Amino acid sequence: MPRGEFPLLGEAATIPLLPGTNVAESEEHLTFPDRKPENFIYATKLSGKVIGYDFSLSYFRGYDDIPIANRLIVTPIDTLGNMKLDTHLGFPEIQAVGFDCAGELYSVGLWGETAVFLPEEVKMEMEIPNPMDPLNPIVQDTTILSDEPYVKFTLGGDYTFKNGIYINAQWMHGFFTEGGEDNLEDYCLAGIEKKFKNDEIKATLAGVLEIKDIEDIEENYGTAIIPEVSYAPTDNVNLSFGAFFLDGKPETLFGSWKEQDQIYLKTEVSF
């Protein structure tokens, strides 16, 4: 998933290469934080209940679990214009202050959560061949994650009808792979579920609408439709059959995967 304008694993299309050259080989290098006391991960949480609603305040200091590219090196591998791309990735340091709340109003379950993220600035060093001086490559620095605070939040609700049909919906600002105020998108999620035959069979239909730019949705949307049927013949066995149908504009997350629809069969056994 992209962070800023550069992809997680450095697609060749984003690298400014000379005409007649192309990336023929690619290799990724992942670096973890040093095992030092100053790099320890820690968090704290305070929870309680007010007028029937559960709430909590939390603080986290550690590292984002999605790595981002901090160095790209392009080197020639032959005289035909073929290049090798080495992508170096690391885990940016981050702090987060969060709040969440959950409760019920007229039998409708409600929840909300938000967090203020305080990231460290991440610059990416890009090294590309210099046609005028092959021994001294061109080095450029690009900020791909600024240290400007940003906010993510989720608001949702659910309800179960008397006939057993369960529905839920939520609005999410900022997917878990996204970081930086300018990179946050909005996602509207909804699902409906019905159980049959003493809860042995469960049919689910879920959908997601991704909105990259709310002012121009027609050119900035992505969709995911996820149907699933599961069967639990015993308490410790569950069989699921489902699919992912993806669509949208190429610039969106789901749109970039539109040619990768999937059908799956899953077996779960608990001991």
| Residue 18: predicted pLDDT | 66
With 0.85 as the threshold, say if the pTM is over it: no
Assign 2 a pLDDT band (cuts: 50, 70, 90).
Answer: very low
Q: What is the DSSP string of 136-201?
A: S-EEEEEEEE-S--EEEEEEEEEEE-TTS-EEEEEEEES-TT--SGGG--EEEEEEEEEEETTTTE
Which of 149-158, 164-173, 247-256 bottoms out in mean pLDDT, i.e. has the lowest? 247-256
Q: Is the pLDDT of residue 4 over 50?
A: no
Percent of the chain with pLDDT over 90: 56
- How far is C-alpha 246 from the chain's CA centre? 16
Q: Is 193 exposed, middle or buried (0-12, 13-18, 19+ CB in 10 A)?
A: middle
Which of 16-25, 37-46, 246-255 bottoms out in mean pLDDT, i.e. has the lowest? 16-25
| Residue 65: predicted pLDDT | 86
Assign 130 a pLDDT band (cuts: 50, 70, 90).
Answer: confident
Q: Is the pLDDT of residue 205 over 60?
A: yes
| H and E: helices and strands count for the chain | 0, 16
Can you tell me the mean pLDDT for 108-128? 93
Assign 15 a pLDDT band (cuts: 50, 70, 90).
Answer: low
Can you tell me the mean pLDDT for 247-262? 91
> Residues 185, 212: contact at Cβ < 8 Å?
yes
- How far is C-alpha 206 from the chain's CA centre? 18
Backbone angles phi, psi at 39, to 5 degrees: -100, 10
Q: Is 260 exposed, middle or buried (0-12, 13-18, 19+ CB in 10 A)?
A: exposed
| Residue 136: predicted pLDDT | 87
Can you tell me the mean pLDDT for 245-256? 92
